[in-house]
Each structure stands twice: as structure tokens, then as C-alpha cells.
Amino acid sequence: MGIRDWPAGERPREKLLARGAGALSDAELLAIFLRTGVAGTSAVDMARQMLSEYGSLDALLAADQKRFVATHGLGTAKFAQLQAVLEMARRHAGERFKTRDVISDPQATRDYLSLHMARVEHEVFACLFLDNRNRVIAFEELFRGTIDGAAVYPREVVKAALRHNAAALILAHNHPSGVAEPSAADRDITERLIAALQLVEIRVLDHLIIGREAITSLAERGMM
């Protein structure tokens, strides 16, 4: 039986309009994105099969193009559509985040960075540049590759902070392995950046390491 033959209160789209998106399961939300299933399989059943195959909605959303289009019922157009939806979500989160004091709302900072960095397959080093009221001026990715003395250049971080006229900043980088434990190199580059930025009177509030399931704060660990 197709979704059109279901009672109105059980159809994902009607359920969303009546009760809000939060009332839907992962499979129901995915079914609305898919719009249609394939022969003999409803969009909801297809969504359930996909979630079973990938293990979670998060893993599905993070899939690269090659794997995504290889999934039965999907293709390049769906992949492009999904990437557009994810980018809109990131931009929406960014616009709301920039109005907040990052010190008074640390969870919002973690959510924002996780959205941008947790699923990146290569290592990324970035900064949140802040004004003198700890509000976000800009988020900027500065370096890619292994985080060590050769890959992160303090002078480039200082130049970026001055360009944004920042009063303070939060350092962040991801661990593609998914484990958010600080390494000796992480601690070393943090100390070097703090020293370099102190010369131009810019404060480093924290260095956050972004894993897939957790975020570690070097400030909370007493490492800076």
C-alpha cells in the first residue's frame, strides 16, 4: 500500500504540518526528502532501508557523493539537493549564532563548530573571531592538514585576527579519526598561538578539538 493510501494522520507530510517536524521519526523525515519510493517500496520503507544500511541518519547525511549515488533509488540530483539543504542549515545556524555571546552560551559554540567540522574527512584548523563583547565576527578556516608546527603558522593567525579587528578568538580543529583527545602537538601549537596573539593584545579563550561524537576544550582541561 502506497503512502497516499495511508490515513492522513500517518502520512509524513501531513503529520509534519499538523504536529511539527519534531514529531517525525528519522525515517519519516527522510521520506519527505525522498518524496517517492521505488516500485513496490514506499518512501518510508525505502528510508528505513537506507537508515539500516548506513547505520544512522548522521552517517547518511555525511556520505560522500560516490557512496550516496550508489544507493538504490538515489542519484546525483538527490545528492545535490541534500548538499543544498545541509548548506542552508549551516548558514541559518551561522546567522543565529553570530548574535550570541559565546561565553554565556558555550553549547551554541560547540553545536556550531560540530556542524561545520565534525564530519570533514581531512584535518581542518579554524578560528572564531570575536569582538570585545565575545560576539562572533567571523568563522574562518585557515589551514588544512596535520596540526603541527609546520602546518599552522602563528603569523597567519595573527594576520587574520587583525584583519577581522578581533579582540579575542577561539581556536578549533577537528580530528578525522573521531577521537577528540588533545595530542602533544595540539598543546604545543596552542601555546605558540597564545604567545603570538598576546603580542597584539588578542586573547585566546579556548582551543576546541572536534570529534565525531564529542568536543574537548583545552581550557576546561586546564591545558591553557
Domains of the chain with CATH codes: 3-92 (no CATH), 101-217 (3.40.140.10)
At 9 the pLDDT is 60
Report the C-alpha gap between 13 and 32 in whole angstroms: 6
Task: Give the integer Cα–Cα distance in Å for 148 and 73.
Answer: 43
Residue 5 DSSP code: G
| 8 Å CB contact between 65 and 80 | no
pLDDT at 44: 84
Residue 209: the pLDDT is 93
Phi-psi region at 93: left, alpha or beta (left = phi > 0; alpha = psi -120 to 50): alpha
Give the Cβ contact number of residue 129 at 10 Å. Answer: 21
For residue 127, give the H/E element and its range. Answer: strand 124-130
Angle at 223 between CA 112 and CA 199, to 5 degrees: 85
Report the predicted TM-score, pTM, of the whole model to 2 decimal places: 0.66
- DSSP per-residue string spanning 12-81: HHHHHHHH-GGGS-HHHHHHHHH---BTTB-HHHHHHHHHHHHSSHHHHHT--HHHHHHSTT--HHHHHH
With a CB cutoff of 8 Å and minimum separation 6, the contacts of 192 are: 149, 154
pLDDT per residue as tens, the chain (224 positions): 456 656 556 678 888 888 888 888 888 888 888 877 766 778 888 888 888 888 888 788 878 888 888 887 788 888 888 888 888 877 777 676 666 667 677 888 888 888 788 777 788 899 999 999 888 899 999 988 755 444 888 999 999 999 999 999 999 999 887 788 888 888 999 999 999 999 999 999 999 999 877 899 999 999 88
